Structures are given as C-alpha cells and as structure tokens.
A and B are shown apart, each in its own frame.
Chain A
Amino acid sequence: MSGYDASANGHSYGADDGQQGAGGPPQAGAAPRRKGGRRYAAEQYDFNAQNPGMGQGTAQIPADPSQMFVPAGGAPFQQGPGQQYPGVGQPYGQPVAAAGYGDYGAGTGYAQQPSAAPMQQPQQPYGAGAGYGAAAPQSMMAGFPGQAQGINGATKQFSQMSIRALPQVESMDLMNTRPEISDLQAPPPTAILPDNLALTPSPHAATDPRFFRSTINACPTNSGLLKKSKLPLALIVRPFLELTGQDGVPIVTDTIIARCRRCRTYINPYVSFVENGYKWKCNLCGYLNETPSAFDFNQLEQKSADRFARVELNHSVCDFLAPQEYAVRPPTPPTYVFLIDVSFSAVTSGLVGTAARVILEALDQIPNEQSRAKVAFIAVDSSLHYFALGPDSTEARMLVVGDLEEAFLPSPSDLLVSLTDCRPAIENLLSRFNEMFATTQNGSSAMGPALKAAERMIAHQGGKIITLISTLPNLGEGKLTPREDAKLLGTASETKLLQPQNSWYKSFAVECSKTQVTVDMFLFASSYQDVASLSCLPRYTAGATHYYPGWNANNYNDVQRFGTEFTRHLSQEIALEAVLRVRASTGLRMNAFYGNFFNRSSDLCAFPTVPRDQSYVVEVAIDENIGTPFVYFQAAWLNSTHNGERRVRVLTMCMPTTQSLSEMYASADAPAITHYFAAKAAERCLSATLDNAREAVGARVNEIMDTYRKHLLNTNTGASVPLRICSNLRLLPLLSLSLLKHLSLRKSSQIPSDLRSQAINYISTLPLPQLITYLHPRFYSLTDMGPECGLPGDDGQIVMPPTLNLTAAQLQPYGLYLLDDGLIQFLYIGGQAVPQLCEDVFGVSDISQVRVGKMSLPEDLDNDFSIRVRAVIAKSRELEHGKIFFPHLYVVRPDADATLVRWFITSLVEDRGDSAASPSYAEYLQSLKGKLT
C-alpha cells in the first residue's frame, strides 16, 4: 500500500504491495491467482476481520476521493492513478490533484473482459478506527465534493474511458470461527460503477439500498451463468421508509414526466443526451426520445432552466407529481371502515372498549389534512349493526340488519361520513360504544357478510376495511370451523392448516382488489383463530395481519401493545390506488413477485392502498444474452397520496454486467438473499409443504457453497478442504440457519398453526432490516455493558451495547440479558443474579421474587442501572424505522415457567435445538461441508 506501481500495460501487477503495506502477513485466501496470465492486485482486498494488520494503515488511504469505490463488504478501495502516495497522515477525503488520470487511462476504453482491465487497487484494511459499518457511506459521500470540484477536468478525461474496478472475492473459512454478527448492520455491497456513468455527479444518483436493493450487484450476461452460479437474482423493493412523511425523497413538481416512448421507462440519472441534447437515449431499451423543451426553458417564469439541476436527473429515488392522465378517476379520499367484533368474547376480553377508546384517541392522527377522510363503523355479532351519523347531531343511530344472505345497506347516505364534519357524532358513538354491547351474550360472528357489506359500502371509491376479530367467523359466507388438529402438526399435512379452509377468502380478496379495497386484520382470539384463512384477505389486498393471541384488556401490557400498534397503523399516511411495475433492460424479465398485493397482469402488482411498513421481492429472469456493459432496473410506483395528489415514485438501479462468477459472488448481498429465500419459502409453505420450503432453502445454500468451492477456490485438495465462502456471504449460512429454525419454518409438532401462519405472514412482508432482526434477534448483555451504554451519546441517541452471538454460551448465571426480535423482547435474568441486581431492576429483594412473563419494568426505580436498562429496552424497540410493532417484554428466569424458558432458548439459533432438525451452527456448517461434492 505504501507504494505501488501501475504499469500501463497492466500485465504485471504489484500483487503483494497492498498486502505488505497493510502490515498483515500474506493470507491463504489472498494468494495470487492466475487467470489469463494476469494477476489481480484487487485480490488482495482484505475484508477479513481477523486480519492482524487491520490496525494499521487507516491513515494511509490514498486520498483521492473522486476515485473512491465501494467494494463488496463495505471496504472502500482505490482505483488510482499511477502515483506513489506517501500515504502516512493524509487526511481522509481531501482531494488530490487529478493529474495523471489521463496518462493512466488513455486509450484503455471500457474493459469488457474483466481480466483486461489494467488497474491497480491498493488495499484499505478495514475495520480499525473508521469502523466497518460506517466506512462505506462516508467514503461515498466524502467522494463527491472532490468530484464536483474536479468534475470539469476529470470528466473530460474520463469520457474516453470508463474503468470499472472489479470486486474480487475474498474467501474465508467458516469453520471454527464465530460469525461476525456485527456485520448484519453493515452496508450492502454496492454495484461498482464508473464515476461518469450517471449524468450528474450527484451523490443521490446511486440507488439508496434502503429503497431498492438487489441480491447480486453484478448481473450475469446470460441465463446459463446465472443458473451456474446458483445465486438468485432478485430485487427488494420498499416504497416507503417511514410511516409518515416524504422519507427525504424529492418531488418533481412541474408535472413534466419524460418517459421512453418505447418501453415507458421514466427518465433517470442514467440516461444520456444525444444530438446536442435534443434527444435523450433510454438507458433500458436504447430508444431515442425527444427531450421536453421544459427541461431547458421554464414556461412559467419565462426564463431558461438548467436541465442538469432537475431532480429526476440527480436522484435515482424521486417522486413525480403526475398530471391527470395518470389517474383513472379523481383521487379518492382515505376511507376507513371499522368492523368491530362485538360478540361475547370480544366484549368480555375488553376488546370492544379498548378498540373504541384507541380509535377515539387516534382520530386526530388519521391522515386528514384536507378534511377528506371518511369513516364508517359496523359492529358485528350474529347481525350487522350499522351506525348512521350526521353532521348536525351528536347522536348516532344504530341500524341492525339481521339478514345475512342479502346484506343491504340500510341507509345509503349517512353510514360513510366525513371524519371532520361528523366528528362530534363519531366521538359520541365511540365513547358509548362499549356500553352499547356490554351485556351481550351473543357468541356468533357474521364477519363474512360484514366484510361483504363493508366492501359494498366503499366499493365506489375504495379504501381500507379495518377488521377487529375475537371470535371465529361462524355465520354466513366465509364461515370457518375450528380445524386445528394437534396430530397434523409436524406432518406433511400441516400445510393444509396453513391454507385457507374456505375458498370464499380468495374470491372475496380478488373482489376487493378490483374495487380498490384493502382489508386489514387485527386478530385477538384466545382459542383457534384460523389466521391462515383470515390473513388471505390482507395478502391479496395489500393489507396487514396483526395477531394478538390470548389478548385481554386486564393486562396492561396487552393494552399498551395493541394501543400503540393500532394507533401507528391508523396514523400511517397510506397511499391509495397504487400499482407497481418493475422494468428492466432488454433481455431481463420480472419473473415472480412476492409480497402482499394482487398481480393484475404478469408484471403489474395492484395495491388498493399501500401500507408503509412492507417490502416486496421481485425475482428476475434472464431471457436473452445481454450485450451491454450495464443493466438497469426501474421500479415505478404510481399512487395517490392521502391528500389527493397523484404521484409516481421512481426507483432506478444500475449494475454492471459480468461474465465472471467471481464478480457475481463478490457482489452478492447475504441479507438480501435471505430476504429472497424467506419470501420464496413463505410462498412454498402455502403452495407446497413446509418440508419442501425448508429443503428448497437448504438445498440452495448447499448449491451456493458447492459452486463457490468448485469454481472459485483454486485449492483442489480433497476432503480436508475447509468450508469457505467469500467474505460478503459469510453470514449467509447463519442467516439461512436462522430462517430454517425460525418459527415459520422450523420442523416441530409444538407450533400451533395460528402462530406459524402469522410468522409466515411476517417473513413475507417485513422490510429487510426488520426481517433480519426477526430471523436473527439482537442479543445484548446488560450486566456487562459499558458505562456509556443506555445513556444518550454524542448525537443524543441512546448508546446501545454491542450485540452478542445468539448462543447460550453467552449467558452467565448472574447476568441480565435482552433479546429482541422486533416483535418480542426477552429479558433473561440468570438464576444466580445478586439481590442488588434484582433490587435495582425489578424492585424486589431476591431472584426468587422476580416475576416472570409478560410485564414491563417498574418505572419508579431511581437508580442509574434501572434507568439505563429501561433506556436500552426502549431504544431497542425503536431501532428500525417505520415499524408498527411495539414488542412485549417477557421476563425469563431459568428456574420458572419452563415453556417461556424453552421459547427463549429456541431463539438462540447458534445452539442446538431440541431435535435433529434444528442443528447448532457448528453442526449446520459440518453438514454443509459434508454435502460438498
């Protein structure tokens, strides 16, 4: 690193320079490899945390930020001019004169053959000081000011050359090392693109992986290579990050939407202007389109405009304000119909009272800035109770309809009313709601006919039906029977319990999708609820299912959780009448879509309303050989905002094409692949069997390991070969093991089908960060945490302790631990905890008095440790943005409540489970190794 030589012909690379400069000893994985007689300096990249030399050299980053790229694994590296850098003490991010670029790159052109690229990439050892997680984005950002300054000079020289730094695989041994779980938070591998690919040097031209992410960041040029690699090619699309607001996405407000006439692609930062800027060339299909005159001349203000300042040419994630042609009808108001179960069990569990109170308190948070929101309430037992509300009266009139065959609307005009106009009547109704039904003895629920009636009520404009159910629907259409059969659990027939028992749920879902109606389910039954059947409606209408087994209003924690989650659910700014279409460069085709929506045509997903806390997986197939150096994907999200604007959110992604397996592997994204596996497994659980879903995941991981060993490891020794994988995929075995052992897929005869169904719902809808936490919970030691943890840090945020590996080996008998999977928190207290700890945290004098189970910690303990523990617990609940869940806290003590302890122990995925079907991490690796051919 301290000095290297990039000879212009590129034939002899100083392959060892980087290594020595980093101060580390040569490593086995970094042994020079020959391919076409050339050695890659880049192979020396060391992503390995165990590198003893990582402590040195952070200050030696060749400091020319305009040349910064981010390779797989997050370590920034340098593709540099042929200069000698003194290296020591160069301030990071200070631009160095771009002299020498021209000499270096003259006449090279774009290197189609990876091996022909003459380049030299010294190494930046990662980890030390700069921090693994933070290094990449900072270097990206740091790169841009420098680039902007030097853009005039440098871009011209670059315009004749575009050299792409190739990411190289760095093998690492999986056996005998603990997985580096801190890497779960690491930024994903980024597509390695030349600087001048985008039109403008804007830092936002590169796709934000929070919105749009791919399982591999280098696209194979043909389907044979994709098949051979065994890696999936899939996109992960998340339209919204937060429950409310703009997510920092800029809006193009002048309703000028330039689109390709042939493939309907939206203009984006990767198009190019030709013919003096009169035309723009579509980056997906290559068609030449007229540039709108408004790009250069502002009609409104009668002055010229700078097209390169336009939002859509600077941001790969942006919103377009759409003109009228993009709407079939005037944007509809946000509409909410509340279907509230008022049967006996709902009333006695306190659901009716709690729900009415929560809705009453959340009325102000329903998105209603322009007073357009409409609401209706229907109470359901064996008959349907409608409420006629008027603007002039504070009294609601209850209209009871007992005819379930032909559920008609007793009063067409005043059932669905404006939230603003009828506010007094609505408030009055909700405050009296509980007492109206307090004495009911009715145990039936005609939820099917009620759903139908609600759908009919809002069919003319669409909207949301929010359903609160505590009794199994047992009257009329959509009637369900208790079918849980403990004998079926853990057998091949279990999948029947995961499918809807009544085809009405699918046909009605299709009906709802047609009329732009979303159904959300909040389920509360204390016995069998048939989540599998009921969650069918949200699945195909882009809704959400929330399940609160055994919910009771007498438990404060239950009320708090439901209240928080329901309020957040109501307050999210829903988008209405949305469709998603994903386009890609010629030769690529969207093959399958996973998530909650209805496929209205082969490539169009329809969302009556868009929930803001879900993400979607799109599988891509390669139909033809791809001849271009780059491919592009564009997800376009046409929707209406809650305040009546028609908008298109456009997400564009670019990635290089490759003919090398190694580049594909080096750019693979383990969490994204896990997300794809989860979506695919969830689909298989329903269409095939659980065994089938598990085997598919297991087999795929085997194939990946096998392919890697066969094609990318140059060692050819026999059985003694250690299990190796490239460093960016090193967490894939752990994540896939977590998926296989997860509640949704685990082979077990103990998991009630309701819980399993709900877990399957979650793994097919949760956004990536939440999904990873759900599969692989965060685990903290609270007794060992540093003095700064649990207190606000420099940025005002609570400092969290480091996460631990999920194994019982971490548990000390005197310790206090927190495990959080985003939906449930476990606070584990060791059996030999000192009385002081019990006193400080729980306010009791002795470990035997610590209450176990669902609870919240006492708030009134005024000691430092209690405050910090509570701060960590609260912060852990909020770590992922834009989520609705408010996890319960379960206190676990090893000598009390064996079920709870077992539940906690099964979350420790690195340990062996109770059966051979849930191996420990080491056993799993051993079995992967055994299956290598």
Chain B
Amino acid sequence: MFGAGYWILVILLNIGLIVLQVFFTIFYSDLSCDYINPIDLVNKLNPYLRPEMALHAFITLTFLLTGNWFTLFLNLPIVAWNANKLRNNDVTLDATEIFRTLSKHQRESFFKLGAYLLLFFWYLYKMIAALID
C-alpha cells in the first residue's frame, strides 16, 4: 500500500517522540534531585510540551488516513489523554506547583516513554512486514 517508506518515516517520527520523552524524564528526575531549579525546568520544558502532543497527534492522523485501523487503535488512548489535558488547560507546567505535581508528571512521562517504545517495535514489525511484501 504505502510500503516500507511510510513506516520508516513513522519510525523516525516515533524516535523523535521517544527522544522528547527521555528529555522530559531526565529533567524531572533532575528536579527531584535538585540539580535544576523549578523556574529553569519550566522554562525549558514548556516550549516542547505542546509540540510533543502535536507530533503524536500527527502520526496518529496518518494512520487514520492510511487506514491502519489497528495501529490507530493502539494510539488512541494517548490521543485521548492529551486531548483531555488540552481541554482542562493543563498542558504547561507551573513552577509554583511543580513539586506537588512532580510525581504525576514523572509517572506520565514514564508511561508515555514505555508506550512509545512498544509502539516503536510494532512499527518496526509493520515496516519489516511491508518490506517482505
């Protein structure tokens, strides 16, 4: 259908997501170890939070357009989660509240990282399957 090229593109974008999540996770753990102060953390992370969501939404959209229903289904929970955060206006970090919400952010970041890694292997499988075809 679209062949391996499409899947390679997806994999590359997905690597981007993974890199961003690793970046977030490192910053959160830096904050909990006091290597960075909350003001710097917020200034550094906030510009990337929305693009990360947008990138993921874009990848998911391509599954919709290409009719990869099962892959789309795998990604929907994350889209729903992000959409909910957008709806509640709860996307950006707040330096005054960060220590109370840090564990929540860390958990979220871990889960997303795990999900992206699993998806990575799924995309890899799809790519290989497309290559074999």
Contact = CB atoms under 8 A, between A and B. Distances in A.
A200 B37 CA distance: 40
Nearest to A599: B99
A506 B39 CA distance: 12
Interface residues of B, number: 14
B34 A601 contact: yes
A604 B31 CA distance: 12
A687 B97 contact: yes
Given A514-B39, A600-B37, A540 B96 contact: yes
A599 B96 CA distance: 7
A600 B96 contact: no
Nearest to B36: A601
A496 B117 CA distance: 38
B97 A602 contact: no
A506 B38 contact: no
A727 B98 CA distance: 39
15 contacts: A506-B94, A509-B96, A510-B39, A510-B95, A592-B100, A599-B38, A599-B96, A599-B98, A601-B37, A602-B99, A602-B102, A603-B34, A604-B34, A683-B100, A687-B100
Contacts of B98: 599
Interface string B109-121: 0000000000000
B25 interface: no
The 10 closest A-B pairs by CB, nearest first: A601-B34, A510-B95, A599-B99, A540-B96, A506-B96, A602-B99, A602-B34, A510-B39, A600-B37, A601-B37
A484 to B, nearest CB: 20
Contacts, number: 34
A567 B39 CA distance: 35
Nearest to A506: B96
Contacts of B102: 602
Interface residues of A, number: 17
- If over half of B's interface residues share one DSSP class (helix, strand or loop), that class is named, otherwise mixed; here it is helix
Interface of B: 31-32, 34, 37-39, 94-100, 102
Name the residue in B32, B34, B96, B98 with the highest tally of chain A Cβ atoms < 10 Å from its Cβ.
B96
Contacts of A779: none
A598 B96 contact: yes
B90 to A, nearest CB: 11
Interface string A521-547: 000000000000000000110000000
Contacts of A514: 39
Given A506-B95, A510-B95, A687-B97, 4 more contacts: A598-B95, A600-B38, A602-B34, A603-B34
Nearest to B89: A503
Nearest to B101: A687
A602 B31 contact: yes
A509 B31 CA distance: 20
Contacts of A506: 94-96
Contacts of A510: 39, 95-96
A916 B9 CA distance: 62
A601 B96 contact: no
A371 B39 CA distance: 35
Contacts of A509: 96
A33 B39 CA distance: 56
A592 B32 CA distance: 13
A600 B34 CA distance: 9
Contacts of A592: 99-100
Interface string A499-511: 0000000110110
Nearest to A510: B95
A509 B96 CA distance: 9
A683 to B, nearest CB: 8
Name the residue in B31, B32, B100 with the highest tally of chain A Cβ atoms < 10 Å from its Cβ.
B100
A514 B95 CA distance: 12
A598 B95 CA distance: 9
Contacts of B32: 602
A601 B35 CA distance: 9
Nearest to A509: B96
B105 to A, nearest CB: 13
